[in-house]
Amino acid sequence: MLFLFEVSIAIINIMKHRNRLEIVSEILQTASGNRAIQAKIMHRAYLSYPQLKEYLSLLKENGLIEYEEGERIYRITAKGLRFLQIYNELNDVVVMTNNITIK
């Protein structure tokens, strides 16, 4: 039981420090896999349903994600893949610069 409490605290701490770009990245990452339905995206990105709807709308308006009504799934677009690639590259640079120590 203590382990579950520690995991819950760790998740809460992660979620406190996320910005919009991190959340968008998590949604796009999920949509780049197979069968990205709303519930799957919502759970993987740790979002409430109203938050999910807001982000999906934003991503669709900007052409980063598309919705296939017949299958009721979300797929990442070429523009979304490019965004994800640039985001990951910039994130790598930030992590690298955070590891540099001044002597």
> HSE-up of 4 (CA within 13 Å, CB side)?
1
Mean pLDDT of 6-12: 52
Tell me the percentage of the chain whose pLDDT exceeds 70. Answer: 82
Q: Show me where the domains of the chain are located.
A: 16-98
Query: 3-state secondary structure string, the chain?
Result: CHHHHHHHHHHHHHHHCCCHHHHHHHHHHHHCCCCECHHHHHHHCCCCHHHHHHHHHHHHHCCCEEEECCCCEEEECHHHHHHHHHHHHHHHHHHHHHCCCCC
**Each residue of 37-79: pLDDT tens digit?**
999 999 999 999 999 999 999 999 999 999 999 999 999 999 9
How far apart are the C-alpha atoms of 40 and 88, rounded to whole Å?
A: 22
Mean pLDDT of 2-17: 54
pTM value is 0.78
CATH of domain 16-98: 1.10.10.10
